[in-house]
Amino acid sequence: MKQCMDAENLHRRLKKIIGQVQAIDRMIDEDIPCEDILSQINAAKSALHKCGQVILEGHIRHCVRDGIAHGDPDKTIEKFTKAVERFANIK
């Protein structure tokens, strides 16, 4: 849900990741050593993981808090558990 995310922060992060991926693509054409390409892939993967952390934190601060305070706590916990499971499966 948009209201629980820091959209400006996420857009900034994602634009940087897009730039990283484009740079990786250029590295392949420029015959850069495999180790350097893998290092950049890992950096992009870590940056994408951080985006997930930002989204999960917003989910906790807004959706989970509101769901427990004003909604169905059991359903809120169930949804939160699913969100954590989805995030944990990111590799």
How would you class 58 by CB atoms within 10 Å of its CB: exposed for 0-12, middle for 13-18, buried for 19 or more? buried
Domain coverage including residue 10: 2-88
**Dihedral (CA of 52, 75, 1, 6) sign:** negative
CATH number of the domain encompassing residue 8: 1.20.58.1000
| CA 14 to each of CA 55, 61, 72: distance values in angstroms, whole numbers, following the listed order | 12, 21, 33
Domain count for the chain: 1
User: Is 44 in contact with 20 (CB distance < 8 Å)?
Assistant: yes
Q: What is the pLDDT along the chain (91 residues), one digit of tens a residue?
A: 667 778 899 999 999 999 999 999 999 999 899 999 999 999 999 999 999 999 999 999 998 999 999 989 999 999 999 999 998 885 5
This prediction's pTM: 0.81
